[in-house]
Every structure is written in structure tokens, then in C-alpha cells.
């Protein structure tokens, strides 16, 4: 491999000749040989947005020349579009402020500009990575800013549309089966009737609430600490920089970001990310139940519950011919479990650091972005490859409903709890129907029984 020599404040360092990063990045690669995880590309590209917005704000305030403004804007545009992705080799597991990644960005942009200007990489000409690319900024305020940009963009552009698709499919199932009465179950035991449509409708209501929770959580993320520099005081910035920079961020993203009133809070703590992670965990809890209910209801097909039939996507066993498993539900379940685990890491990260700086920023955003991706990917796959193809086994549903002892609940207002329980116990012990038990006990006539024990009426309020 060919190398070039670059310098930083600690001296000379060898840098791969074909890489745009410089000495500070090379040191970080050497000093953090931890794990296989790299900084998510969503963060790198969000940094392009911030660097572009910062130089435009600095130019508007008369702090940088038009030549440097144009160069930095162009290089930052390439960063935003993903053209420079290969030049960010630092491990995720670095300093808790994300400083190494910010310096990596500064160096890549400065060296890309050197290429554009036709001068030697590492010369820090025509722009300097710290003095120009990083002007009016610190890692401490830019990193939480790009965390917010990345999280907001991923939730709005990726996760919310996936959840909306899930909501629509659940609504279709709720409407299709609104009149199909089935056995309800509580404690995994037979309970009073419900329609299959009502069962799907409950899931639809849950995802509807989660969508609203997600939207609400983004309001707090959209308060950016950019302009606070090292500790939130705005040292080395000109008054008004934050507002101008955020204006240019919004022109680039159209997301409605705002400059945080208290920038120290956005640097020292990340409560808004802990909040978002909690909503993602709530979504995971819902999806886990959806996955497990799918598995239970489809279990069998002959020796389980078997009330629904799921699509046959692939063979389910290497030894049992013809076996089909609820694989999409299992994948959804596992992704949900990982998201719950990620939330624990985010909670610990959110409480970490001292005084004016949280020092678990890479940990927090890595887990949040992974959670968003896992929830979105697993939900989209489940929706497409399982939920959309679910069909009710109406024969099985009717069989269970007919044999359910809990239909006796409809008699509580008529003959009381004790007599109703006696009917259920007699039917169970004698292996006879509820009607037969009621008639043998003499508590109701056949006409009275059929009047009051109507499964369809039991799926709604039914006392006159």
C-alpha cells in the first residue's frame, strides 16, 4: 500500500495515499481497534448537512470568504450524496463525544477540496480542516446535532411509512373479518367471544397510538444544540450563528428544526434520545405481541389452534417434509427483542457523562439507528410476507366457538353467576353441550337458552 505523510499537532503520521482522511483520523484508526462496527453512514451524511449549513451561516456573517464557502459547500454536497462514504474508517467505539468522527469529516472535506483545487492533499489548502471546515463548531455541539438529524430523517422517511402500511393492512383485515365470531382467550384459556375483525382492530389501534407517540417524540429531537460549541455557551461563534445555521439545515432538509434555547442541555444530556428509544421499545413490545399472537393462532395446522392460515414462504424443516413455520413472525419477535435490549444501552448512555458533556453519544445513536432499521425492516417483511396473506380457517373457528364453555357468560344477567357456573361445570364434566346442561338442570328452556346465548350478540354490549 502506498502512503503519504500528513501532520497534526502531535507530529507526522502515515496515511493511505488513496484515502481522503488525514493524520487525526489515522491516529484514531490505530488507537480504537475495537469491534467491527463503524459510525453509521446516516451520521456521516448528516455531518455533510451540518458542515454545509455552518459554512453558509459563517459566510452570511462575514466570517469566511466566498471561495472557501463555495469549496466547502461543494465538498459537503458530495458527503451528503454518499460519494465520500469510503473515507470513514474509524470504529464506532471511540471517544464518547464523537470527536474522532467530527475530525474525520473535517479532514475528508479539506482534502477533497485540495483535490478540487489541484493542490497536495494534507497541505490544508485552500481550506483548513479546523479553522475553516470546523469554524463556529465543536464536536460537542455538532455530534448531537447530526444525531438528531439522522434519527429524525430515518423515523420520518423510513419507519413511519412502514408503520402506516402495517396500519392499513391491519385495517383491511379488521374490515374483512368484522363479522367472523370466534373464541376469545384470556390467560391462554377460553373466554367470551370476539370477532376476528375486532382482534385485528385492536392491533390497528395499538399501531395508531405508536405512530402518534413517534411523531410526538420528534418534536424534542428537533431542538438542535448547534452553535453551543464546547459547553453550550457559544464560545468562538458570532451572535446569531445558531439561528442562521439551523435556517440552512431546514433549507436542506425541510424538517422544521429549531435552534435550542438552552444548548448546554443538548450537549450535556440526551433526554430526547432516551425518550425516542422508549417509544421504539414500546413499538417493539407491540410487535412482539403481534408476532406471538400470529404464531399461536396459526399453530398446528392440525394439532394446534389453527384459526388462521399463514403464507407458505419456504420449507420449515430439514428433516420433517411438508412442515411450514411462522418464520416471519419469529423474525419480527427477534428484532423486537433486540430493540428492547438496545433501549437498555440507550438508557445507560443517556445517564452517562459528567457536568457539561454526555460521553456516550456514539453508543446512543448507534443503538437508536439500529432499532429504527430493525423495526422497519422486520415490520415491512412481516407485513408483506405474512400479514397480507393471512386467511381465516372458518371451519376451525366455528368448531371452537361451538364447543366453548365461556358462552355461558351471557347467562350471568339472566340466572346469575352461580347457576351459570354450575351449567358450565356440568357440561364440562359430562362432555355435553351448554344447552344440554342448562336443560337438564332446569334453569332455562331451549328457547330461552337460544335467545340469550347468541355468540354474535356477545361481541358487543347487549343488555337492554
Binding residues for substrate: 97-99, 128-131, 138-140, 186, 318, 323-325
| Residues flagged as binding site | 97-99, 128-131, 138-140, 186, 318, 323-325
Report the 3 state secondary structure along the chain: CCEEEEEECCEEEEEECCCCCCHHHHHHHHHCCCCCCECCHHHHHHHHHHHHHHHHHHHHCCCCCHHHHHHHHHHHHHHHHCCCHHHCCCECCCCCCCHHHHHHHHHHHHHHHHHHHCCCCCCCCCCCHHHHHCCCCCHHHHHHHHHHHHHHHHHHHHHHHHHHHHHHHHHHHHHHCCCCEEEEEECCEEEEEEEHHHHHHHHHHHHHHHHHHHHHHHHHHCEECCCCCCCCCCCCCCCCHHHHHHHHHHHHHCCCCEECCCHHHHHHCCHHHHHHHHHHHHHHHHHHHHHHHHHHHHCCCCCCCCCEECCCCCCCCCCCCCCCCCHHHHHHHHHHHHHHHHHHHHHHHHCCCECCECCCHHHHHHHHHHHHHHHHHHHHHHHHHCHHHCEECHHHHHHHHHHCHHHHHHHHHHHCHHHHHHHHHHHHHHCCCHHHHHHHHCCCCHHHHHHHCCCCHHHCCCCC
- From the list 81, 87, 285, 317, the catalytic residue is 317
87 carries an active-site annotation:
no
User: Is there a catalytic annotation at residue 270?
Assistant: no
* Active-site choice (81, 187, 378, 420): 187
User: Active-site residue numbers?
Assistant: 187, 317
Amino acid at each position: 500500500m502506498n502512503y503519504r505523510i500528513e501532520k497534526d499537532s502531535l507530529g507526522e503520521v502515515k496515511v493511505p495515499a488513496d484515502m481522503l482522511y488525514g493524520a487525526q483520523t489515522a491516529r484514531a484508526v490505530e488507537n480504537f481497534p475495537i469491534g467491527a462496527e463503524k459510525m453509521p453512514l446516516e451520521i456521516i451524511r448528516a455531518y455533510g448537512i451540518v458542515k454545509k449549513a455552518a459554512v453558509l451561516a459563517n459566510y452570511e456573517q462575514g466570517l469566511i470568504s466566498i471561495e472557501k464557502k463555495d469549496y466547502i459547500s461543494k465538498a459537503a454536497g458530495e458527503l451528503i450524496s454518499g460519494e465520500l462514504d469510503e473515507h470513514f474508517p474509524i470504529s464506532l467505539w471511540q471517544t464518547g463525544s464523537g470527536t474522532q468522527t467530527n475530525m474525520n469529516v473535517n479532514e475528508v472535506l479539506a482534502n477533497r477540496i485540495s483535490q478540487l483545487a489541484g493542490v497536495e492533499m494534507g497541505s490544508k489548502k485552500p481550506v483548513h480542516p479546523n479553522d475553516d471546515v470546523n469554524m463556529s463548531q465543536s464536536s460537542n455541539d455538532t455530534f448531537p446535532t447530526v444525531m438528531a438529524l439522522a434519527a429524525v430523517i430515518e423515523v420520518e422517511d423510513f419507519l413511519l411509512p412502514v408503520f402506516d402500511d402495517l396500519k392499513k393492512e391491519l385495517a383491511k383485515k379488521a374490515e374483512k373479518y368484522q363479522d367472523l365470531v370466534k373464541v376469545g382467550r384470556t390467560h391462554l384459556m377460553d373466554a367470551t367471544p370476539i370477532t376476528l375483525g375486532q382482534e385485528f382492530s385492536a392491533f390497528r389501534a395499538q399501531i395508531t397510538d405508536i405512530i402518534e407517540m413517534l411523531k410526538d417524540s420528534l418534536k424534542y429531537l428537533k431542538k438542535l444544540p448547534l452553535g453551543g460549541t464546547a459547553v453550550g455557551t457559544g464560545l468562538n461563534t458570532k451572535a446569531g450563528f445558531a439561528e442562521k445555521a439551523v435556517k440552512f439545515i431546514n433549507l436542506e432538509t425541510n424538517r422544521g428544526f429549531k435552534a435550542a434555547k438552552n444548548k448546554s442541555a443538548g450537549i450535556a444530556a440526551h433526554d430526547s434520545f432516551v425518550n425516542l428509544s422508549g417509544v421504539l421499545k414500546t413499538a417493539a413490545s407491540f410487535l412482539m405481541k403481534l408476532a406471538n399472537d400470529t404464531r399461536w393462532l396459526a399453530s398446528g395446522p392440525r394439532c394446534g389452534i389453527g384459526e388462521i392460515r399463514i403464507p407458505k414462504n419456504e420449507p420449515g424443516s430439514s428433516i420433517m417434509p411438508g412442515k411450514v413455520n411462522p418464520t416471519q413472525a419469529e423474525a419480527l419477535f427477534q428484532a423486537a427483542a433486540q430493540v428492547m435490549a438496545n433501549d437498555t444501552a440507550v438508557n445507560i448512555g443517556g445517564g452517562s457523562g459528567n457536568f457539561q458533556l454526555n460521553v456516550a453519544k456514539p453508543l446512543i445513536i448507534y443503538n437508536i439507528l439500529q432499532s429504527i432499521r430493525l423495526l422497519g425492516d422486520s415490520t415491512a417483511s412481516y407485513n408483506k410476507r405474512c400479514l397480507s396473506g393471512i386467511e381465516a380457517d372458518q371451519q376451525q373457528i366455528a368448531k371452537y366457538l361451538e364447543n366453548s364453555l365461556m358462552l355461558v357468560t351471557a347467562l350471568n344477567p339472566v340466572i346469575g353467576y352461580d347457576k351459570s357456573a354450575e351449567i358450565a361445570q356440568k357440561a364440562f364434566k359430562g362432555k355435553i353441550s351448554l344447552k344440554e346442561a342448562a336443560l337438564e338442570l332446569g334453569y332455562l328452556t331451549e328457547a330461552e337458552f337460544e335467545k340469550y346465548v347468541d355468540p354474535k350478540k356477545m361481541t358487543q354490549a347487549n343488555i337492554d
